Every structure is written in structure tokens, then in C-alpha cells.
Chains A and B, each alone.
Chain A
Amino acid sequence: MKTTHAALAEKFIADEPRTDWHDETLWFVREKRDKAAHGLPEWEQLREWGSQIKNHTLSNLYNYLKEFEEKAVANGIKVHWAADGDEHNKIIHEIIRKHNIQKIVKSKSMLTEECHLNEYLQEHGIEVVDTDLGERIVQFRKEPPSHIVLPAIHLKKEDVSATFHEHLGTEKGNNDPQYLTEAARQHLRDKFVQSQLAITGVNFAVAETGGFVVCTNEGNADMGAHTAPVHIACMGFEKIIPKAEHLSVFLRLLARSATGQPITTYSSHFHKPRPNQEMHIVLVDNGRSRQLGREDFRNSLKCIRCAACFNTCPVYRRSGGHSYHTAVAGPIGSILNPNLDMKANADLPFASTLCGSCTNVCPVKINIHEQLWKWRQVIAAEGYVATSKKIGMKGMDFLLSKPKVYRFAGKMGRWMIRIVPFVVNNKLNVWYKQREMPEPPKESFRDWYLKNGKTNKK
């Protein structure tokens, strides 16, 4: 049977103290975000500007991408286009082969996760060292990141300690984050110094200048990119923005939304390779141009990958990133992934209560919860929900749209109890597993009203 968010979440929650810890840790990040946003009286205006700049960019994407390419090439950067993840991986593989590269460092790039670059290269006998601390931790553990900004947020320091003891020979049982980070620093400095190729992501690419910006707190993108003789920056084409001055809006929004910092430690602006360095940019589509054509969903392409929607999502905090079984988890992942593979990700738009908190924190005003609702309609129409659910819904419609049927069923008592298990096609009543049923009253409101409603008035 397919592993769904609901099933994986149930497994996650089985360890309740750990779930509480995960929830609290991410809520702490949400609170830091609130504090940072409160520090700027123009916060809501800033979100509006961010949203409008991105809307404009999507409406003129063709020209901006061509402008970017032209300027980047003039700056001495090699520009590649990849229609999908496989093409992206092949382009990178080809560069590696051409230079006979053995040592590769990579800073965080959710795009390379989306394209499964590491796995692809591994299959071809090439090892990539992830250099973001969180990513290195999960890489050692052979796990995918569980969060796009905090890749190892599902792990406790005891877990990290055990992993580092095994892979880096750190002291057994020393759980001090300072000590563990220092060990990673020493280990990865060696990797940086020896690196022949640095792969980075891109936070923003500027059409008017042909340059791109990479933001990190650790400095790992810079350590790699300024050391290796070859630098490949990978970006989904929606990372483009029109002008350098627009960076002000996005850099003000990004770190505050992500972690509550006023800005990331390093916001590095790359325009030209160093002397004797080769710099490449891979522009990736992988379903994005298709999403651009979906009117209801295109504005998901405004996303700047801050993960504020993860941290605020009450479902994410209590189910963990791995329960979303995709590279980009959380609410934004749940509206992006059905575009990539509707059948495999049909469960994700349902992994939400539609509470709307995600939409409220989004720095570029993506209407995430409304898109979750709309994806549900598309997924149901395309037939990617269980037949039992569909039959159940038809039954509900029959019951609820016909006043007489509705009242008759109501009189029979507890119609909801009858419907609910019917909908989930389960002999057990799922509601009752951890909750009592409401006690059915003697009469419905309508029955009461017919008897007392009119006479109740003075």
C-alpha cells in the first residue's frame, strides 16, 4: 500500500514527547519570525511589494530570462537550460566528466534535492559532500532533509552526536552543539580546501545584471564557490527578479520570515567568475512552465523558499518533514508537488486543516491554503482519490442536498456516525478511536423550532 502523509504522520506522532519537542522547536522559530516582522512598521507593505514584484516577474518571465541569459553570458558565465531534473543532472554530470572532477562540495540547494542530483551522481560513482551542517548530518544518516531551511530539525542533539561519533570520530555521548559544530567545521574545511567543484543553489537571479545571490549563515556556499576552480549554480527559473534594487525587498523579507534574523550572515552577489574559474548556471524548468499555465496555481512560483509556512503549520510541526515524502515538504510543498506528480502526491493537499496560517506568514503572499483547497478539487476530478471516498461523498451529497432525506436520516439518529466510517471505508469508527461521539439529543433544532420557535417570541 502507498505510504501517505496520514500514515507517516501517525508513525511520527507515536512518539508523543518527541512530537511535542518538534512542535515546540519549530514554534520557537515562528515566534522569532513574528518578533522580527514586528520590528518593521512597513512589514505588511513589504509583503505586498514582494508579491507584486514576483507577480510582475511571472507576467514577463520570457523577457527576463532572455535578458538574464544575455547579461550572464556577457559576464563570462556559462548558461545551461534543463527541461527536467534528469537533464539538470546530466548537465552537471557532463561538466564533472569533462574536467575529470573527483571532489565536489555542495551548499544547500532544494532544487538539487528536487532533481535527486546526489543519488544520480552516486549511481555514476561520484560522491558529493553536502556542506551545510544540517545537510551533512542528514547525508551521513542517509536521510533526506526534513525542512528546506533547517534540514536536520527532526533530529535531537543526541542523534547528531551518535552520527558524528560514527562518521567523524567525535567523543561518544558528547552532545554539546558547540563541540559537534566545531567537529563539522574541521571536517568540512578539509573538503572545501580540496574541492574541485562547488555546487550552490541560487536565492535570487537578477535579470538586469545577469548576476545571482546566494544567502547562507554558515558561509559554506562561499567557502566552496571561492575555492573550487569550477562553480555550478543551480536554479529553478522562477528565482529571477527584474532589478538589483528589488533585492532590497526580498533580502528584507527572506531571513526575517525564515528564522527571524534581520538578514542572513552572508548575502553573496556573484556576477563574474574569478580569473581561471569556470562559472555555470543551470536554469531548470522541471514542471515550472506547466505550473505557470495553471491559473489557480501559478502564483506558487513566487515562493522564495523561506519555510515560514512550515514553521507556522500546525500539521507540519506535528508530523515532521519526512511525512510529506517529497523534497519540499510543508504547505508550500503540498501545492508544488501535485504539479510534479499528481498521483504520487495526491494525499498532500489533504494534509492540512486549511487553517490559513501559511498564507498569513508568506512573505510574497501566496494564497497557499486556497490553493490546497483548489488542488483537492483537481485531484478529485482527475480521479486520484480513493473510490470509497468518492462513493462516500456522493452519499453525503444525496443525504445533505435533499431536505427530506436529510431529516429522515437525522431522525434515524446519529447520521454522522453512519456516514463518517462509510467515507473512510473503515469498519472501525475513526473518530471514536481517541474521541467520544457527541451525545445525540432528543430532538433536532428544527423539531424544537416547530414546537417552540414561534411561541418563544414575547
Chain B
Amino acid sequence: MKVALFIPCYIDQFYPQVGIATLQLLEKLGCEVAFPLQQTCCGQPMANSGFASLSKGCDINFVENFSGFDYIVAPSGSCVLHVKEHLKDESHPEEAKKIRNSIYELTEFLTDVLKVETINTRFPHKVGLHNSCHGQRGLALSSMTERMLPEFSKPEQLLSMVKGIQLSKPKRNDECCGFGGTFCVFEEAVSVKMGKDRIKEHDANEIEYITGGDTSCLMHLEGILKRQGSKVKTIHIAEILNSSL
């Protein structure tokens, strides 16, 4: 199984440990992982700001880097959703289509493709799970409180395999944290208020960590936590799943 690792730009630049954990985890689980070296960004920041027309360069570069793999895996629901919904390459439409259909967010890759049932890992901490919207509602990584359908959660399924973890959910289990891409600066006041409200609900559970599948949401929450002087840390789900492998 040839798996290409897609590490979104902000993870590459700011959170290399998330990329490392993802790579190590996939390799431990038996994947042959390639990291295409000329990759940059999926183009989402421009597209979500109304400039999808300007993300052509990113699209072309993405197709160049990620053609020819069985699977493409990334530790970000948001970037994966963007590629799935919007990747286009006029000169290589077939390749672009294949990528759109074979790109996976990390947790869904573990539960649906690798069908992981046990993970030998320990993380003896109180952890609150943040459901990121693009992963949850966009990629259907878990059931949604708005929909009247059976309950499930791919991230929770994986976290329940971790020894020693005490997992808790905030009162509003799938409310947005307010990151929202460039929303976080163009609508700064609402963005921060939303983040503060998420943190308040996690605080009520007396947790040590907030985890999730999207580093962007975690970066936003981390920024607020640090400003508050909170002891609560953020950690990507890949880091927990890889913690003592």
C-alpha cells in the first residue's frame, strides 16, 4: 500500500511534531509512506476567502506532487475536505479526480482503510475532544447533533483504544471553535469569543489537554489558552495515538 503523506503548510511550518507523529504512526501500522518533497498548500486559505481562482497554482502543484499513490493521508480534516471538494487541474483532470477520491483524513484512514482495532499506546491524562467542523460535518468523521442519525465517532473510536486516557466531551459537543480560516482575523471578535466559549466548556471538565484532528482549530484554541495563562495544552490526535508506540 503506497501512502503519500500530505502535511498542510501551517503544520509543516509551526507544528512539525504533528507531521512526525503522523508519519511514525502510519509506518508503525505497516504503511509504506512517501512524503512528496515539493508539496506546499492545498489552496484553501485563498479559496475560502473568495479567491479560488487564485489557488490554481496550488492545485497544479498539489496534483504534481500527489499523483500515482494509492492513498493520500493528511492530519487535517479541513485541508482534506478542501482537496476533496475543490481540487481541479485542467491539464490533468483524471489525476485530480483520482486524488479527490483517494485522499483521507488521518483518523478515517485508520478506522476505514487500515481498520485499526488496537493501538499499543498509553496517554494517562484527562483529555477533551474537540470535533472540528470540516472533519465532522464535511467528511462525516462522526455523527452530528443536528442530524437524527445513529451516533458514531471515528476519533473517539481510536481514542478509546488508548490506555489510561480519560476522555471527556464539552457540553456542546460539536460547536465550532471559531477558527474558520481567514475568519479568525476578518471576524476577530466573534472568532475569539467562540474559542473562549469552547475552552470554558472544556475547562468545566477539568481537562489537561484539548485534542482534535485539525491543527488549525487547535492553534486558535492554543493561542487563547496561552493568553489566558491556562495550564491546558493542545495536542493533535496523531500525537496521542503515537505517544508511546
Contact = CB atoms under 8 A, between A and B. Distances in A.
A98 interface: no
A401 B12 contact: no
21 contacts: A44-B147, A319-B190, A353-B194, A354-B181, A357-B144, A357-B146, A360-B144, A376-B49, A380-B51, A381-B50, A397-B46, A424-B185, A433-B188, A434-B188, A436-B223, A436-B227, A437-B223, A438-B223, A440-B13, A446-B37, A456-B27
A394 interface: yes
A355 interface: yes
Interface string A298-309: 000000000000
A23 B12 contact: no
A396 B45 contact: yes
B165 to A, nearest CB: 25
Interface string A171-194: 000000000000000000000000
A349 B183 CA distance: 11
Nearest to A6: B187
Q: At the interface, is chain B mostly helix, strand, loop or mixed?
A: helix
Given A6-B190, A396-B46, 5 more contacts: A9-B190, A13-B193, A350-B50, A385-B49, A401-B55
A5 B223 contact: no
B130 to A, nearest CB: 12
A356 interface: yes
A433 B227 CA distance: 10
B57 A445 contact: no
Nearest to B222: A438
B226 interface: yes
A353 B180 contact: yes
Interface in A4-41: 5-6, 9-10, 13, 16, 19-20, 23, 27, 34, 37-38, 40-41
B12 A354 contact: no
| Chain A, interface residues (CB within 8 Å), range | 35 or more
Most A-side CB within 10 Å, residue of B40, B147, B149, B184: B40
Interface in A434-458: 434-441, 443-450, 453, 456-457
Interface string A325-362: 00000000000000000000000011111111101110
Contact of B51 (A34, A349, A390): A390
Contact of B145 (A34, A377, A445, A450): A34
A357 B177 CA distance: 13
Given A381-B53, A397-B46, A315 B190 contact: yes
A435 B216 CA distance: 13
A401 B40 contact: yes
Interface of A: 5-6, 9-10, 13, 16, 19-20, 23, 27, 34, 37-38, 40-41, 43-44, 312, 314-315, 318-319, 349-357, 359-361, 373, 376-377, 379-381, 385, 389-390, 393-394, 396-397, 400-403, 406, 410, 415-416, 420, 423-424, 430-431, 433-441, 443-450, 453, 456-457
Q: Is the interface of A mostly helix, strand, loop or mixed?
A: helix
Given A396-B45, A397-B57, A410-B13, A456 B178 contact: no
Contact of A434 (B47, B57, B187, B192): B192
A423 B182 contact: yes
Contact of B187 (A351, A433, A450): A351
Contacts of A431: 184-185, 188, 223
Q: Which one of B17, B18, B51, B219 has the highest number of Cβ atoms from chain A below 10 Å of its Cβ?
A: B51
A406 B40 contact: yes
B2 interface: no
Given A44-B147, A435-B223, A448 B40 contact: no
